[in-house]
């Protein structure tokens, strides 16, 4: 059995060791001052005792379970873990095996006045699984025992699965039938179907069906006032969509227990190329043309020159557009040829060697943790905006982080605009890392929303994005959400605080 890291990303055995850390420090010290220290991983100190008796189902209250469920996996979470900073750990972690046990736990919570924090893989980067009310007991409801593939309808290309299943387990079951959900967030290995649905996750394909919303056929949800299950049909115009209502509800309106998801045949044809651009803006213009061409590339990932140097091991400071096409049905070389032609019209050149991004992409969160231990403030944030707003938004974000460094890549491109994803590297000060990051985050969030961007394209709202979310969503819709919360969860049992509810 491999062990997951309690303090950082992913598998414990993948964290950088001393030699890896030294090597990273040598590379990074070229552009950021370092103090030569590596923050140690602490032993967990004694936690506050649980304030309520055990919930009526299987539950744990040992230190390891409680610290590893206290936070998500953002930079600020890693820093607090390394500082042994757990003022408000969950009182219990409960592990339901079925809907009856969820209902029993909700009844119990209503009785003892506890809050319930639904928990999938715990990979939230927005404070989604962290309860911040120090005065109310709470139980983290870990859906990890509800991880079955219940039914596969190969004729209709659909699968019914329980919410607690993680990416690899779901894909392994589908692969046996030569099928795939084809939803790969960067956190794929450790996040769950329920978490993806509750946060409206984005997969890493750049165009076409890539957001989890696109694959939903029907959802089943336990709420404090009963079970909601939507009709399983290919499409429906029957009033406002119940699935749309639950998607992105972040555990505040109900607990997703099962979903029917649309799956696809596994791609058999693939073609790809890397295109270099001397001018970043030319790469942006080419990405726009590609997004509007109807070619639907699977990958259309524009890396700015710095991102290309840092994250893709490029040896030249040029913008790189990573292009890929795939299909289960037909060869895709002609689509790639046409895409290259479009890029050449903007001065793009096919690079002699392909940019290696996939390995680096999966390795990036481990490097983030190692950098955090070296004292660097390092974090990502993302948005989406129209093509018309991008240039100004991009300039405003770089200005807001200055003098720190920010790199940018497009994770998704749409006919009407890109989804830019930024990584910030700032010199840290031991003990002041959270303050430095929080100030930077507030500045970049202001820059994003003041320049027409959404506060998040796929990282969700949680607690951290709430101030900007309240400004972004129309007020009548806020009224609807608050009314829904009052009706479905009158005692505010479910994840109080996320989405401002």
Ligand X SMILES: Cc1cc2nc3c(=O)[nH]c(=O)nc-3n(C[C@H](O)[C@H](O)[C@H](O)COP(=O)(O)OP(=O)(O)OC[C@H]3O[C@@H](n4cnc5c(N)ncnc54)[C@H](O)[C@@H]3O)c2cc1C
The residue among 209, 346, 333 whose CA lies nearest residue 281 is 346
Place of tokens 């984005």: 202
Q: Which of 183, 346 has the CB closer to ligand X?
A: 183
Beta-bridge mates of residue 324: 272, 299
Length of the chain: 501
Shortest distance (Å) from residue 199 CB to ligand X = 4
Measured distance CA(476)–CA(98) in Å, rounded: 36
CB 149 within 8 A of CB 229: no
Beta-bridge mates of residue 211: 202
Q: Which of 250, 348 has the CB closer to ligand X?
A: 250
Shortest distance (Å) from residue 476 CB to ligand X = 24
Q: Which of 413, 460 has the CB closer to ligand X?
A: 460
Instruction: Copy the structure tokens of residue 304.
Output: 């700015």
- Evaluate the CA torsion angle 472, 476, 482, 485 in order and state its sign: negative
Shortest distance (Å) from residue 317 CB to ligand X = 26
Shortest distance (Å) from residue 329 CB to ligand X = 26
**How big is the CA angle at 165 (ends 217 and 242), to the nearest 5 degrees?**
30
The residue among 86, 55, 50 whose CA lies nearest residue 68 is 86
Q: How many helices (H) and strands (E) does the chain have?
A: 15, 18
Shortest distance (Å) from residue 252 CB to ligand X = 7
Q: Which of 94, 143 has the CB closer to ligand X?
A: 143
CB 4 within 8 A of CB 122: no
**Residue 287: helix, strand or coil by DSSP?**
helix
- Evaluate the CA torsion angle 134, 136, 139, 141 in order and state its sign: negative
Shortest distance (Å) from residue 466 CB to ligand X = 12
Shortest distance (Å) from residue 420 CB to ligand X = 14
Measured distance CA(210)–CA(301) in Å, rounded: 14
Measured distance CA(19)–CA(17) in Å, rounded: 6
Q: Which of 55, 195 has the CB closer to ligand X?
A: 195
Q: Which of 308, 380 has the CB closer to ligand X?
A: 380
Shortest distance (Å) from residue 238 CB to ligand X = 24
Residues in Cβ contact with 68 at an 8 Å cutoff, skipping those fewer than 6 apart: 4, 6, 122
**How big is the CA angle at 71 (ends 181 and 481), to the nearest 5 degrees?**
70
Q: Which of 274, 495 has the CB closer to ligand X?
A: 495
Shortest distance (Å) from residue 106 CB to ligand X = 12
Element (H, E) at 125: none
Q: Which of 125, 493 has the CB closer to ligand X?
A: 125
Q: Which of 306, 364 has the CB closer to ligand X?
A: 364
Measured distance CA(83)–CA(68) in Å, rounded: 14
Shortest distance (Å) from residue 203 CB to ligand X = 7
Q: Provide the strand spans (E) within 3-114.
A: 59-60, 92-94
Residues of this chain that interact with ligand X (CB under 6 A) are 9, 72-73, 117-125, 128-129, 143, 163, 185-187, 191-192, 194-196, 198-199, 201-202, 204, 250-251, 255-256, 365, 458-460, 495, 498
Q: Which of 370, 396 has the CB closer to ligand X?
A: 370
Shortest distance (Å) from residue 174 CB to ligand X = 18
Measured distance CA(223)–CA(109) in Å, rounded: 13
Measured distance CA(194)–CA(256) in Å, rounded: 6
Q: Which of 245, 277 has the CB closer to ligand X?
A: 245
Instruction: Copy the structure tokens of residue 351.
Output: 């690079």
């Amino acid at each position: 059995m491999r062990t997951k890291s309690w303090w950082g990303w992913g598998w414990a055995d993948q964290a950088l060791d001393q030699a890896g850390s030294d090597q990273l420090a040598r590379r990074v010290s070229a552009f950021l001052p370092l103090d030569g220290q590596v923050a140690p991983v602490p032993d967990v100190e004694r936690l506050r005792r649980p304030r309520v008796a055990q919930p009526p189902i299987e539950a744990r209250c040992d230190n390891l379970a409680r610290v590893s469920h206290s936070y998500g996996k953002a930079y600020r979470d890693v820093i607090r873990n390394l500082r042994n900073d757990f003022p408000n750990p969950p009182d219990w972690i409960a592990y339901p095996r079925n809907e009856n046990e969820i209902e029993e736990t909700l009844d119990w919570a209503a009785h003892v006045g506890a809050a319930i924090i639904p928990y999938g893989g715990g990979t939230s980067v927005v404070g989604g699984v962290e309860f911040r009310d120090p005065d109310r007991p709470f139980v983290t409801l870990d859906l990890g025992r509800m991880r079955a593939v219940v039914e596969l309808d190969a004729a209709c290309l659909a699968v019914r699965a329980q919410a607690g299943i993680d990416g690899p387990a779901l894909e392994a079951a589908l692969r046996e039938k030569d099928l795939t959900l084809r939803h790969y967030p960067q956190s794929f290995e450790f996040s769950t179907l329920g978490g993806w649905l509750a946060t409206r996750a984005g997969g890493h394909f750049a165009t076409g069906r890539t957001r989890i919303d696109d694959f939903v056929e029907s959802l089943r949800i336990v709420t404090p006032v009963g079970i909601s299950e939507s009709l399983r049909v290919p499409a429906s115009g029957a009033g406002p969509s119940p699935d749309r209502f639950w998607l992105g509800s972040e555990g505040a309106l109900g607990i997703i227990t099962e979903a029917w998801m649309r799956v696809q045949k596994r791609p058999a044809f693939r073609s790809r190329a890397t295109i270099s651009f001397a001018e970043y803006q030319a790469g942006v213009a080419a990405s726009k043309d590609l997004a509007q061409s109807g070619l639907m590339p699977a990958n259309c990932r524009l890396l700015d020159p710095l991102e290309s140097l840092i994250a893709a091991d490029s040896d030249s400071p040029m913008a790189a557009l990573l292009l890929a096409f795939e299909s289960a049905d037909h060869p895709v070389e002609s689509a790639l040829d046409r895409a290259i032609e479009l890029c050449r019209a903007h001065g793009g050149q096919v690079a002699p060697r392909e940019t290696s991004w996939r390995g680096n992409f999966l390795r990036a969160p481990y490097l983030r943790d190692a950098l955090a231990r070296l004292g660097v403030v390092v974090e990502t944030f993302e948005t989406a905006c129209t093509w018309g707003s991008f240039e100004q938004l991009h300039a405003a974000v770089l200005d807001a982080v200055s003098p720190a460094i920010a790199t940018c890549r497009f994770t998704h491109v749409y006919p009407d605009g890109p989804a830019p994803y930024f990584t910030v590297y700032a010199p840290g000060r031991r003990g002041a890392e959270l303050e430095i990051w929080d100030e930077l985050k507030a500045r970049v969030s202001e820059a994003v929303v003041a320049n027409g961007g959404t506060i998040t394209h796929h990282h969700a709202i949680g607690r951290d994005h709430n101030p900007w979310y309240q400004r972004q969503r129309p007020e009548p819709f806020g009224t609807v959400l608050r009314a829904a919360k009052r009706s479905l969860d009158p005692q505010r049992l479910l994840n109080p605080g996320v989405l401002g509810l």
